[in-house]
Chains A and B, each alone.
Chain A
Amino acid sequence: MSRGGAAGPSDNLAPPMAAAEKSLDVLKATALTKAYGDLVALEPLDLSVPEGQRLVLVGHNGSGKTTLLRIAAGLLEPSSGEITIVGTPAGSLDARAAVSYLPDNPVLYDDLSVMEHIEYVCRLHDAEDWQERAVGLLDALNLTERADDLPSRFSRGLRQKTAILLGLIRPFSLLLIDEPFVGLDPPGRAALIDLLDDANDSGATVIVATHQMDFVGRAQRCVALRDGAVIFDGDPGETDFSSLAG
């Protein structure tokens, strides 16, 4: 996978790519369904996401966005159908290596500082040059002053920024990110959009579930879900999403 983008400061922030075969759909779901008892969260869903695409998932609350992302991240078993990440089943070790998933609710350890979180995640992923990239990401997210503090004492927005940092600093080919703008202030939102641009420019596929309409316009492709079914799949410019996004 090539690392595109102009040389510059943002190059330091771009994640090293996890190994992925060329000309392969990074994510491929076939007849994927999920039901929680009688509640159908995903109707049979087919979705192929090629390498390097920036896709935005929109839909009302309960439309199945988070379920789809969690299944792709290997955190949830589908009821039927299959889903592969870079050609391997979601949840397998190869798929885990390729996917960086940021849940809507930041998940962080209670007694590790921001910097310790970074070191822990990077060492477990054998990330290279992580110290240098950590400095850049901390700066971009305005967390430099808080690097030695415990995120468990942070506000929602700062915890969100920490989780974003951890999701971006590890190697990945596919970034799955669920409602990333919740709790972020306007500078934080702008920084996140820049970081997503960097990740995408460096070759990563980015899938964002959001209600943030100004971000939808920046995507190459938009998939809208309603009651677990795809009701739109195409160019974001083709329709008005305000009624779809909830």
Chain B
Amino acid sequence: MVPAGLALYLAALDVTEPLAQEVDHPDLSASFNLPTGELHLRQLGPSAVLMVLVGAFGLLAAAVATGGATLTWELGAVVVVPAALCALGAGCLSVVKGPPPALSTQAVLIPEVAGMRAVGRLLWPPIMAILSLLPIVEAHSALRSHKAPVPAALALEQLVVVVAVGGLVWVRYQEDIHRWWQSQVEEAKSASGRGGLSR
């Protein structure tokens, strides 16, 4: 699952190139009269179609390997689209988030904590892509326990769908969330400054 998840992640990075171009040109994005998050989300339609095609190729390869077993097709029908979208979300996360800003609240963290955060920022997207294939592991496990594999995969698939949708919602609203968070930090700073003066 790990190589397959990493392959999906690499494919996602490739198909999100239009989004990457937009992220690399913030001055252009900021000149359009629509929220940057919406512009980013609009870039993802063709990317999503491409990712589903990549997943379909994976399913085709699995079908060839298993001699066209019915279970492969059934499992593929359940897994391919959510896994493709989840991997796309992982690619978007990686592209949009980029490196940590040079001057941020992180700058005042101790190096160990800042390092852990940077590693987490780097590793979370590929982990997300790998996790999108977990329903296949669950189906395999169910099969070994003589249980129905597809319902087992479906149960876990709901989590994958939530993560995939969460990733896309984050792309749309991350700028607003970031702005809100910054305003809260500024407000807290100024409030503590006022408190300090009153003492």
Interface pick from B29-37, B131-139, B165-173: B29-37
Q: Is B32 in contact with A75, judged by CB distance below 8 angstroms?
A: no
- Interface contact tally, CB-CB below 8 A: 35
Q: Other than the known A110-B21, A124-B34, what 4 A-B pairs have Cβ atoms closer than 8 Å?
A: A93-B35, A97-B33, A101-B31, A109-B21
Question: Do most interface residues of chain A lie in helix, strand or loop, or is the interface mixed?
Answer: loop
Chain A, interface size: which category?
10 to 19
Report B12-45 CB contacts with A as 1/0, cut-off 8 Å: 0000000001000111101111110001000000
Most chain A beta-carbon neighbours within 10 Å: one of B21, B28, B33, B35: B33
Query: Which residues of chain B have a CB within 8 Å of any CB of chain A?
Result: 21, 25-28, 30-35, 39
Question: In the complex, what residues of A have CB within 8 A of residue B27's CB?
Answer: 75, 101, 103, 107
Q: Is A96 in contact with B33, judged by CB distance below 8 angstroms?
A: yes
- Alpha-carbon gap, A93 to B21, bound state (A): 21
A-B contact pairs, 10 of them (CB 8 A): A75-B27, A75-B30, A93-B33, A93-B35, A94-B33, A96-B32, A100-B31, A107-B28, A109-B25, A124-B39
Most chain A beta-carbon neighbours within 10 Å: one of B31, B34, B35, B39: B31
Q: Is B28 in contact with A109, judged by CB distance below 8 angstroms?
A: yes
- A window 98-121: CB within 8 A of B: 99-101, 103, 107-111
Question: In the complex, what residues of A have CB within 8 A of residue B26's CB?
Answer: 75
User: Within 8 Å of chain B (Cβ to Cβ): is A151?
Assistant: no
* Min C-beta distance of B22 to chain A, whole Å: 8
Q: Is A111 in contact with B32, judged by CB distance below 8 angstroms?
A: no
* Min C-beta distance of A15 to chain B, whole Å: 14
- Alpha-carbon gap, A41 to B26, bound state (A): 22
Chain B residue nearest in CB terms to A94: B33
* Min C-beta distance of A34 to chain B, whole Å: 16
* Min C-beta distance of B27 to chain A, whole Å: 5
Question: In the complex, what residues of B have CB within 8 A of residue A94's CB?
Answer: 33
Question: In the complex, what residues of A have CB within 8 A of residue B21's CB?
Answer: 109-111
- Alpha-carbon gap, A73 to B26, bound state (A): 12
Contact of B25 among A73, A96, A101, A107 (CB under 8 A): A107
Question: In the complex, what residues of A have CB within 8 A of residue B31's CB?
Answer: 73, 96, 99-101
User: Within 8 Å of chain B (Cβ to Cβ): is A22?
Assistant: no
Chain B residue nearest in CB terms to A111: B21
